[in-house]
Amino acid sequence: MKTRTEGAPSQLINEKIRFDKMQVISFDGKNLGVITRDDALRLARQTDHDLVLIAEQGADGFPVAKVMDFGKALYAKKKQQVEAKKSQKIIQVKEVKLRPKIAEHDYMTKINQAIEFLKDGKHVKFTIMFKGREAVMREERGTELLKKIDGSFEQAGLSKIVAEKDSKAPQLWSRVYYLKGK
């Protein structure tokens, strides 16, 4: 029997429940109807379990409480949260920064790097940085460079590549690429 809620401060159990009457569900799932708090606590003690408030207002207008092993329920809930966290897929975004006047060898190095990231299942964000007078030619040079990047991926045999999230700020252009199905 617990009188404190360790690990779940919002959950009301046993004597902390302040309602006079409540709808009670037994340990095996049977609806016992609306009974007094003292009777519900007595029933929970007899079965060596806890009385846990499930909902402050049920369908009948009375609070709903259940007789259960609160420690086991809390453990199962935490375990379920850990399993859910394990199954989440974390997307990593790698950024590759370019300038409009990039040399061909440097460009190919960055493209090869991006292809490896994509094959590893990561997303790749290409950022084109315009400085000074380059900003005047950004429409022409930026569009040309993005088309060149798209063409390089096609030449590399990445047919399932998806481009998304174009961002065109005055000094920075960016586009995120990822492989579909990875």
Q: So where are the chain's domains? A: 14-84, 93-179
pLDDT for 5 equals 44
Domain 93-179 has CATH 3.30.930.10: no
By DSSP bridging, strand 21-25 and strand 64-68 are parallel
Q: Cα(72)–Cα(55) distance, rounded to whole angstroms?
A: 19
Distance CA 117, CA 9 (A): 44
Alpha-carbon dihedral sign for residues 13, 15, 16, 18: positive
The C-alpha angle with vertex 142 and arms to 169 and 144, in degrees rounded to 5, equals 155
What would be the CATH architecture of the domain defined by 14-84? Roll (3.10)
Give the pLDDT score at 112: 92
Residues 50/14, Cβ–Cβ less than 8 Å: yes
**pLDDT for res 87:** 81
Neighbours of 14 (CB within 10 A): 22
Query: Tens digit of pLDDT per residue, the chain (182 long)?
Result: 555 445 445 677 777 788 888 888 888 888 888 888 888 888 888 888 888 888 887 777 788 888 888 888 888 889 998 888 888 877 888 888 988 888 999 999 999 998 888 888 888 888 888 888 777 777 788 888 888 888 888 888 776 777 776 777 777 777 787 777 65
Predicted confidence at residue 166, as pLDDT, reads 72
Q: Residue 29 half-sphere exposure, CB side, CA atoms within 13 Å? A: 0
**How high is the pLDDT of residue 105?**
93
pLDDT confidence of residue 137: 75
